[in-house]
Chains A and B, each alone.
Chain A
Amino acid sequence: MKSSAFSLLPLLAFVAAFAGGPLVLPEFYVTLLNYIGLYAIVALGLVLLTGVGGLTSFGQAAFVGLGAYTTAYLTTVHGVSPWLTLPAGFLVTAAVALSLGFITLRLSGHFLPLGTIAWGISLYYLFGNVSFLGGHTGITSIPALDFFGIELKSGREFYYLIWAALLVIVLATRNLLDSREGRAIRALKGGTLMAEAMGVDTPRSKIVIFTVAALYACLSGWLYAHLQRFVNPTPFSLTQGIEYLFMVVIGGVAHVWGAILGAGLITILKQWLQDWLPQVLGQSGNFEIVVFGLLMIFVLHRARDGLWPIILRMLPEHTDRPRVPEAEALPRRPVPAANAVLLDVKDATKRFGGLVANNKMNFNVRAGEVMALIGPNGAGKSTLFNGISGVDSLTSGEVTFCGERIEALAARHIARRGMSRTFQHVRLLPTMSVLENVAIGAHLRGRKNFIHAALRIERDEEARLLHEAALQIEHCGLREHMYDIASSLPLGKQRIVEIARALATDPCLLLLDEPAAGLRYREKRALADLLRRLRGEGMGILLVEHDMDFVMGLADRVVVMEFGEKLAEGLPAEVQSNPAVLDAYLGGVE
């Protein structure tokens, strides 16, 4: 996290440049800046979509076209006021983006960009061939914008509108990213598995950012139409859509300011290359795309995060840390009655083709007990975990959680009912702080959506979520690492962060997959103490672990698995003296 003073610096520079620009600059530069502003608005949408969410679109130019053509058509043919055509454009764009998103976002990641390429081409040809949209000649004499009696006729006047719009978009995007919804969006990039297990509705998050990016593009198109006062299909082609993506990749795909930097660089470079290259080559044509293409390949090979992070590194280090705001604690789930059966697994079976990973597993976990699941590597423990927590579906069998059948539910719905888990292979978001990672766990305990976040009217709830995250971090003994970047912690501690994140969901049943792996002796003792305390508070804990000292000292009951089947069940001492178990662990004595 950046300090507020530091992160205000680019903002202040931005505002100063914004206000002074048109007063001193010649016409040519004002025009250039207008275009940079228009492109940056679109590019910001791609930052959200590609840099933050890990999705991408080559069809943003087509969304710009939707905004531009909607206003062009409505204002010229039906005489509608331009201020009404903006919401109209938003409606059209949102409808298209939602349906396109609904169709492609359920498929694996690369179908969205392919879908947007196809849709970008379709729309381009549609604009060019529909007679009421003017075909390839386009629509002319679009009215100027009228701003409280001032007609925005010249580029100099329009400049203020474009850059004010950009400023609003920048602020809204930053607010959105620094919120509960923003963390859910950022969690998408690490694969949807963890996010779903923490209760994030990932298809919804994806559709939201795709739609928001499309709406940004639509706004840019509306501004463009009233700046140019005419539209034709050319600026909305796939080539332009690709260029938008180039802007963010070169500027810094994960950074709000990277979008503006990239839009500026590409626009200026293009202007310059278009003058210079034809002279050098003695031919006319769009040769600048060769330079852009090579530049892109180079950037993706050598500096995949783009130029903005490189600039950031050159700026002085900032040291002051954000504080976790004091806030009222979040409400807790009622504690289940002591000894009540929380989880009941009946005949759980999982087949992968011919391989039976879990065969008719039966056991239960009660409130206020630690149940350990042990067995040699490959016994099917993690598979069973995935089956119970909804990360993967069981082939057959029943899972009852708090009296409700859950084997057919998705992971996020199970999480909502009070079951939380950690992963054997740590799934933290490496570039986010420990605090933010743990706060993802509290996702289900907030209600405010992305509109609240963009307008920053969810600060009370946000404070309570962060407060809860901080509380769990302290419980787990990681207070001194609260603001560290998650990937900077040793693996053992990252496992503890996973536990803190699971606790932030306020579970009544905790599934821990090898929590003690990679911990040192002292840390293991601290972990055992933590789990004892949670047990004392009435939580049920299902534990997979290989460290027998740790398991036997902690568990109330033990289930032993081998080859996907239950080998033994009982008290730790019983299991330890069971000949079948000894045989499985130590090998048969012949």
Chain B
Amino acid sequence: MDLQIALLLGQDGVTNGAVYALLALALVLVFAVTRVIFIPQGEFVAFGALTLASLQAGKLPGTLWLLLGMGIAVALIEIAISVRDRHLQRIPSIALLNVGVPLVLAGALFVVSPATLPLPVQVVLSLMMVVPLGPMIYRLAFQPIAEASVLVLLIVSVAVHVTLIGLGLFFFGAEGSRTPAFTDMSFEIGDALLQGQTVLVVVASVVLIGALFFFFERTIYGKALRATAMNRTGARLMGISATVAGKLSFTLAALIGAFSGVLISPITTVYYDSGFLIGLKGFVGAIIGGLASYPVAAAGAILVGLLESYSSFWASAFKEVIVFTLIIPVLLWRSLNTRHVEEE
């Protein structure tokens, strides 16, 4: 391996690592706020990428039907609850929010041809279709059992994951997609070629992380989420609804996931089930941070990206083996550094 290849691999590693870092942050956030180990995080990545690819191909993305279906399910449950509690005045807003908005979105996409839209508009449309799935999944799968044990929540999380994989196959089909590069720019630094796409991914990740930091430090909703993460009961006594906190954290997770999907869609071919492995690599990063520390999780995720990139050069067949076996020494190290933990 000469320096040039090393730099090229390093670039690849950092690019992927930046995406894993975003996912790791989302995983730590969701776990801290809701205690859900969010296995389906990767599905948002795949759905984000595939939705953008569908739009660019001028097709109606399957996500739209998924969103409409889930919206109807949420609306039916909420309306049933409203009828039971005699809050009939809430029904129009429930229906409008969960079913009306997806219908308007569908109508808009029927009228304009999405392939002709400029890239930023396509990206925003993709996010609008994928991100609401986050809070809807929370409403349908997790909110009714929000007080269950971590173990039960984890099993539900895995159940949601397989459901979404199956739905992904149905709505997107078995073929993979790849979008054209966002930019053809490249920079020469010495001998090495720095690709514009890499710069874009890293910059976008840093901007998103910065925005999250601002959100948590400076906004009332961000502070409410942090409070819930620190002490759920205490936060509830202060009037922070666990349901709102849960939905908000799932919205952010979906946003981060879908955005990551948009970022990687020109770099790699994404299939309906690609998200799982991508999400799990974020998990390895998150576990390096003990599912608690944001900076260590992000650094761990970059490490995973680099390890993956270099191992794909040295032993490409064993790339996944090496990346997922990394978790063993990490867990050993954490295990030796952790005093007895009582899980309650």
Where the two chains meet, the residues of A that have a C-beta atom closer than 8 Å to any C-beta of B are: 50, 54-56, 58, 100, 103-104, 106-111, 113-115, 117-119, 121-122, 125-126, 129, 191-193, 239, 242, 245-246, 249, 281, 283, 285-290, 292-294, 296-297, 300-301, 304, 410
Q: Which B residues are CB-close (under 8 A) to A113?
A: 37, 151, 154
Nearest Cβ distance between residue A124 and chain B, in whole angstroms? 8
**A-B CB contact pairs (8 Å), 11 listed:** A56-B154, A58-B158, A103-B331, A110-B150, A118-B324, A118-B328, A119-B324, A290-B162, A297-B156, A300-B159, A301-B145
Question: Which residues of chain B from 294 to 344 have a CB within 8 Å of any chain A CB?
Answer: 317-318, 320-321, 324-325, 327-328, 331-332, 334-335, 338, 340-344
How far apart sit A249 and B151, CA to CA, in the bound complex (Å)?
Answer: 12
Question: What B residues does A292 contact at CB under 8 A?
Answer: 159, 162
In the bound complex, residues from chain A placing their C-beta under 8 Å from that of B162 are 239, 242, 289-290, 292-293
Whole-angstrom CA separation of A110 from B343 in the bound complex: 9
Q: Residues of B within 8 Å of A, CB-based: how many?
A: 52
Point out the residues of chain A lying under 8 angstroms from B118, CB to CB: none
Number of CB contacts from chain A to chain B under 8 A: 145
Is the CB of B50 closer than 8 A to any CB of chain A?
no
The reply to whether B154 and A110 contact each other, CB–CB distance below 8 Å, is yes
Across the interface, do B151 and A54 meet the contact criterion of CB distance under 8 Å?
yes
B155 near A296: Cβ-Cβ < 8 Å: yes
**Listed residue (B149, B159, B318) with the most chain A CB atoms within 10 angstroms of its CB:** B159
Contact A104 B344 (CB under 8 A): no
Q: Are B163 and A104 in contact (CB under 8 A)?
A: no
Check A297/B141 contact, CB under 8 A, given A106-B338, A285-B169: yes
Find B166's partner among A109, A242, A293 (CB 8 Å cutoff): A293
Q: Is the CB of B163 within 8 A of A103?
A: no
Inter-chain contact A287/B166, CB cutoff 8 Å:
yes
Shortest Cβ gap from B160 to chain A (Å): 7
Q: By the criterion CB–CB under 8 Å, are B331 and A122 in contact?
A: no
The answer to the question of B250 belonging to the interface, with a C-beta cut-off of 8 Å to chain A, is no
Q: What are the residues of chain B within 8 A of A293 when measuring CB–CB?
A: 159-164, 166
With known contacts A56-B151, A103-B331, A239-B162, A121–B324 Cβ distance under 8 A: yes
Q: Does B284 contact A (CB under 8 A)?
A: yes
Residues of A within 8 A of B152 (CB): 300, 304
Most chain B CB within 10 A, of A54, A55, A301, is at: A301
Chain A nearest CB, measured from B234 CB (Å): 16
Interface flag for B182 (CB, 8 Å): no
Please name the residue on chain B nearest to A129 by beta carbon.
B317
Residue positions of B touching A, CB distance < 8 A:
37, 39, 140-141, 144-145, 148-152, 154-156, 158-167, 169-170, 173-174, 277, 280, 283-284, 287, 291, 317-318, 320-321, 324-325, 327-328, 331-332, 334-335, 338, 340-344
Smallest beta-carbon distance B36→chain A, Å? 10
Cβ A290 vs Cβ B163 within 8 A: yes
Known A106-B335, A107-B334, A107-B338; contact A286-B151, beta-carbon cutoff 8 A: no
- Chain B: which residue is nearest A107 at the CB level? B335
With A110-B154, A122-B321 as contacts: A297 and B341 at CB distance below 8 Å: no
A103–B284 alpha-carbon span in the complex (Å): 15
Residue numbers in A under 8 Å from B164 (CB-CB): 293
Q: Let me know if A242 and B158 touch, CB within 8 A.
A: yes
Which among B155, B284, B341 is the interface contact of A56 at CB below 8 angstroms?
Answer: B155
| Chain A hits for B335, CB < 8 A | 103-104, 106-107
CB distance from B341 to the nearest CB of A (A): 4
The answer for the CA separation of A239 and B167 in the assembled complex, in Å, is 15
Q: CB-CB < 8 A to B174: which residues of A?
A: 285
Q: Check B155–A249 contact: CB distance below 8 A.
A: yes
CB–CB A300/B151 < 8 A: no
A286 touches B166 (CB 8 A): yes
Out of A104, A119, A245, which one reaches B158, CB within 8 Å? Answer: A245
Which 7 pairs of residues, A with B, have the shortest CB-CB distance? A293-B163, A290-B166, A296-B159, A129-B317, A118-B327, A118-B324, A122-B324
Smallest CB separation, A466 vs chain B (Å)? 29
- Chain A contacts for B343, CB-based, 8 A: 108-109, 191-192
Q: A293-B162, A301-B144 are in contact. List 12 more A-B contacts (CB 8 A).
A: A107-B338, A108-B341, A113-B151, A115-B327, A118-B324, A122-B320, A125-B324, A249-B155, A296-B156, A297-B163, A300-B152, A304-B148
Task: Please name the residue on chain A nearest to B339 by beta carbon.
Answer: A393
